[in-house]
Amino acid sequence: MGKTYIFGHKNPDTDSIVSSIVMTNFEKKLGNTDAVACRLGAINKETEYVLNYVGIEAPELIEDVADGEEIIIVDTANPSELIPNLSNVKIKKIVDHHQVLLNTSYPVFYRAEPVGCTETIMYKLYNEYNIEIDKKIATLMLSAIISDTLLFKSPTCTETDIKAVKELSKIAELDYETYGMDMLKAGTDLSSFTIEQILSLDAKAITLKDKKSVIAQVNTASIPDVMKMKSELESGMNKMIEEQGLDLFMFLITDIVNSNSQVVALGNSASIVEKAYGVKLENNTALLKGVVSRKKQVVPIMTENA
């Protein structure tokens, strides 16, 4: 039997990395000993904090998978965030909490729910299949849920996510609020990155109606700290707009303590931001009060107003 490569989306966040590890463990417990945890990009600081805390290695970095091989996809169902030859491999399972954007020519195990995090679904799967959740797995799972829901402050967070974290924190034997805030803050450390890296840490290429856009996001405990780099960030954004022929580059600086986002928007379609949120961009920037979730509070309203 060949290997089963298990990975989440490019530009992996904590949920993508944790899901590949947790799903690989799940498959192995089900007898699929050839499951391999993989990733399609670099580990971010927040995820690094989690992996160090738990004491495990990052999944294997890959760029693609040979034609005909078997894969399991976690935390996305968007072909543009996956390997280039997706249609030539065999998708065995998909576990996700985003929109459905891929098609298959064969029946597949597909498990998606509109909850805040893939790990909330994985937690259910472990319970359904009576697979033990040990301390490490529990810590990984709750880390991803706290990451995706910004410690329950994101509007994507559901009661199911909160319940899962509370139950998992008992197995993990930790105070999830203290641990969670430390983890989120670890993710806000931008000191070692170049401007280009900051802009692509968590960037999604999204077409808003016909407007070619990139919406990038960083978390911070202090918006002013990040805004000190504003002119360098703008130069980097303008360079990417030119190189990639973008209509819009939206950079969200999300305050995880107060749950607001400062947006910097450039490109010919920057005024969509003004229309969508009823704000005035001054020097290309505005505060979006209460906005923390790209998925729920940015992509839909920006699409509507594009």
Looking at the Cβ atoms of 94 and 150, the one nearer to its own copies is: 94
Rounded least distance, CB 108 to its own copies, Å = 6
Looking at the Cβ atoms of 128 and 210, the one nearer to its own copies is: 128
Cα 213 to chain center, whole Å? 18
CA-based nearest residue to 254, from 184, 207, 194:
184
- The DSSP code for 79 is G
Looking at the Cβ atoms of 238 and 303, the one nearer to its own copies is: 303
Rounded least distance, CB 29 to its own copies, Å = 18
Looking at the Cβ atoms of 114 and 224, the one nearer to its own copies is: 114
Rounded least distance, CB 123 to its own copies, Å = 13
Residue 199: which residues within 8 A CB-CB, separation 6 or more? 216, 233, 236, 237, 240, 251
CB burial string 74-91: b at 16+ within 10 A, e below: bbbbbeebbbeebeebeb
The two three-digit tokens of residue 33, written as one number:
């000993």
- Cα–Cα distance measured from residue 126 to residue 134, given in angstroms and rounded to the nearest whole number: 11
Looking at the Cβ atoms of 43 and 73, the one nearer to its own copies is: 73
Looking at the Cβ atoms of 109 and 182, the one nearer to its own copies is: 109
How wide is the angle at C-alpha 278 spanned by C-alphas 273 and 279, nearest 5°? 70
Rounded least distance, CB 192 to its own copies, Å = 33
- Cα–Cα distance measured from residue 42 to residue 49, given in angstroms and rounded to the nearest whole number: 14
Bridge partners (DSSP) of residue 74 are: 95
By the 8 A CB rule, do 183 and 143 touch?
yes
User: In the complex, which residues of this chain contact its own copies (CB under 8 A)?
Assistant: 97-114, 124, 128, 295, 300, 303
Looking at the Cβ atoms of 148 and 255, the one nearer to its own copies is: 148
How wide is the angle at C-alpha 40 spanned by C-alphas 39 and 45, nearest 5°? 70
By the 8 A CB rule, do 69 and 90 touch?
yes
Looking at the Cβ atoms of 45 and 97, the one nearer to its own copies is: 97
Rounded least distance, CB 94 to its own copies, Å = 8
Rounded least distance, CB 292 to its own copies, Å = 17
Rounded least distance, CB 106 to its own copies, Å = 6
Rounded least distance, CB 1 to its own copies, Å = 17
The CB density around residue 35, as the number of other CB atoms within 10 Å, is 23
Cα 291 to chain center, whole Å? 16
